[in-house]
Amino acid sequence: MRFLRHLAVVVLLVAVVVAGGLAWGHFVPGPLPDRGPGGLGQLVVRGRAVRRLPSGARIPAGLHVNSGPENLGLTSMFQAVNLPVLRDTVEIEAGVVVGVVIIEIGHRRWRRARRASRLAATPAPPPGTIT
């Protein structure tokens, strides 16, 4: 019951964001740069995931590319040749995680050191004093 009550509130909250998004799209459909119908589509060129083909590069015959309006990519799911796209995502995520963890550890150490120096600067109460 409690779960359902919370779920109802969450659905309501999401509905508010959805309504905001639809209003944004209806009244002010800008100023986001349109990157074409490929959207999130990435290509794999020489083992690297890229957003678009470098000038002069050609897609080898027989290679399926999962982007573009014509190719729905239904026959090219989980192909090993496209693994660099997944690797690219994992590398970005790992980079951000490592960065945040390093910052968090640094921040915590700095806070501890500051607290310790503040305690050291505070004169100790005379013995027998109840604080």
Q: How many helices, marked H, and strands, marked E, lie in the chain?
A: 2, 2
Is 130 a binding residue for other proteins by CB under 8 A? The answer is no
Is residue 72 within 8 Å of residue 64, measured between CB atoms? no
CA 14, chain centre distance (Å): 19
Is 86 a binding residue for other proteins by CB under 8 A? The answer is yes
Window 109 to 128, contacts with other proteins (CB under 8 A) = none
| Beta bridge partner(s), residue 50 | 43
Is 97 a binding residue for other proteins by CB under 8 A? The answer is yes
Q: Tell me how far, at minimum, the Cβ of 115 lies from other proteins, in Å.
A: 13
Q: Please select the residue that binds other proteins; options are 6, 109, 112, 115, rule is CB under 8 A.
A: 6
Burial of 43 (0-12, 13-18, 19+ CB in 10 A): buried
Is 93 a binding residue for other proteins by CB under 8 A? The answer is yes
Is 33 a binding residue for other proteins by CB under 8 A? The answer is yes
Q: Please select the residue that binds other proteins; options are 1, 39, 124, 129, rule is CB under 8 A.
A: 39
